[in-house]
Amino acid sequence: MEQRKSIGVDVSKKTLDLAIYAGEFDFSLHLKVSNDSEGFDEIEAWMSEHDMSANDTVFTMEFTGLYAQSLRQWLESKDIPYFMVNPKKMHDFSVPVNFKGLGRSKTDFLDSFKIAYYGFSNCHELRPSKLPLPAILKLKRLLAERRQYVAQACAYKQQRHDIACFESSSSQIRKKSMLADFKSMINKVDDEIDNVISSDATLRTNYDLLTSVIAIGRVVATETLVLTNNFTSITNPRVYAHYLGVAPDKKQSGTSVCSPDKTDCVGFRQEKADLSMVALAAIKLDPQIKAYWKRRKKEGKHGGIVLNAIKFKLILRMFAVVKKQRPFVKLDF
């Protein structure tokens, strides 16, 4: 993207701190507004006051979950480009000496200028962001709700199993009732997930293709659709594997640092954990995967390494069926 004026936004639940950077730090170019439609109107007036428009301005902000969603919707409605930045990258980003001279304080005011400077300095490398499809956003929230119910159901189930003998019969009945309620809520969420997927023909098609892969079920298929934005944001299986922390990385520096290739613990851990369960199921259900597991174990490979390779195989299969738009074919082995 060509060089533009940069507006950095420090997002919180109720307020937005904005700062302008166009080549030098001017700490008077700061605005604090509410994180709602009234605040967005103030931003538009502030931009006009400083002769800034969608053609020469780019916004930059960190990923803050749902807190930034309303602002992103407003920016897209005004055709104003914006960058979403990983908070870790922002934390590690070095700022000029004259900026550091303000001290070691960390405030929303200072963060907004740091973010503005980051967007200005990296606009040639960053790619403008865009909100996922409305159906994807719904699926994302439904998956989060489902995970909460599953976690609570597991907790009650464990209590009934571990400490039932120390509790009264009425307490056991209550826990049994709560467990049944959580299972009922999970089923209702699953039904709503099916309805959302069925409302979009492309989502429905890709979901059916994903679930045609042996051992891939509702949860992993839906998570994959959400994380890849229905295979529009991520189209390369290796990129997706790196995103989840499945693909191993090299670490080498000079002649003294040369560690073996290993996967990174940083990634979308929930999907990675769910893929682990799917990989274990695939070892039982898929003759090819089962033969691969036995062969690699016989060669002396560590079980975790082989399991990780199976997860990568499953990722390759999921991307292959979507790319070819043909369901997975189970071969006799």
DSSP structure string for 189-244: HHHHHHHHHHTSHHHHHHHHHHHTSTT--HHHHHHHHHHTTTTTS---HHHHHHHH
Picking from 93, 121, 149, the residue at the C-terminal end of a domain is 121
In this structure, are 153 and 45 located in the same domain? no
> Comparing 137 with 255, which gets the higher pLDDT?
137
Cβ proximity of 145 and 153 under 8 Å: no
Please tell me the distance from the alpha carbon of residue 235 to that of residue 241, in angstroms, as a whole number. Answer: 11
In this structure, are 316 and 244 located in the same domain? yes
Instruction: Tell me, yes or no, whether 174 lies in a domain.
Output: yes
Per DSSP bridges, beta strands 15-21 and 257-262 are unpaired
Distances (CA, A) of 128 to 6, 115, 148, 217: 13, 15, 32, 33
Q: What is the pLDDT of residues 164-218, one digit of tens each?
A: 677 788 888 888 888 999 999 999 999 999 999 999 999 999 999 999 999 999 9
pLDDT score recorded for residue 2: 58
In this structure, are 215 and 326 located in the same domain? yes
Class of residue 63 by CB neighbours under 10 A (exposed 0-12, middle 13-18, buried 19+)? middle
Q: What is the pLDDT of residues 277-331, one digit of tens each?
A: 999 999 999 999 999 999 999 999 999 999 999 999 999 999 999 999 999 987 6
Instruction: Give kind and range of the element (H or E) at residue 262.
Output: strand 257-262
Question: Is pLDDT at 263 greater than 90 in this prediction?
Answer: no
In this structure, are 293 and 247 located in the same domain? yes
Most confident of 242-251, 252-261, 317-326: 317-326
Instruction: Tell me, yes or no, whether 212 lies in a domain.
Output: yes
Instruction: Please state, for a pLDDT cut of 90, what percent of the chain lies above it.
Output: 61
Cβ proximity of 156 and 178 under 8 Å: yes
Neighbours of 45 (CB within 10 A): 10
pLDDT score recorded for residue 100: 57
pLDDT score recorded for residue 97: 64
In this structure, are 162 and 227 located in the same domain? no
In this structure, are 215 and 321 located in the same domain? yes
Average pLDDT of the residues in 4-16: 92
30-34: strand order across its sheet: 30-34, 15-21, 5-11, 57-62, 82-85
Please tell me the distance from the alpha carbon of residue 40 to that of residue 46, in angstroms, as a whole number. Answer: 10
Backbone dihedral region for residue 18 (phi beyond 0: left; psi -120 to 50: alpha; all else: beta): beta
Type of residue at 230: N
In this structure, are 48 and 86 located in the same domain? yes
Instruction: Give kind and range of the element (H or E) at residue 186.
Output: helix 169-198
* Count of positions (residues) in the chain: 333
In this structure, are 155 and 115 located in the same domain? no
In this structure, are 208 and 304 located in the same domain? yes
Instruction: Tell me, yes or no, whether 253 lies in a domain.
Output: yes
Q: Is the dihedral of CA 244, 246, 252, 257 positive or negative?
A: positive
Q: Which domain holds residue 168?
A: 133-199
In this structure, are 194 and 216 located in the same domain? no
Q: Is the dihedral of CA 69, 131, 84, 230 positive or negative?
A: positive
Picking from 181, 199, 217, the residue at the C-terminal end of a domain is 199
The count of domains in the chain is: 3
The pTM (predicted TM-score) of the whole model is 0.79
Question: Is pLDDT at 29 greater than 50 in this prediction?
Answer: yes
Neighbours of 216 (CB within 10 A): 22
Question: Is pLDDT at 255 greater than 60 in this prediction?
Answer: no
In this structure, are 332 and 227 located in the same domain? yes
Backbone dihedral region for residue 103 (phi beyond 0: left; psi -120 to 50: alpha; all else: beta): left
Torsion of CA 42, 44, 50, 52, to 10 degrees: 160
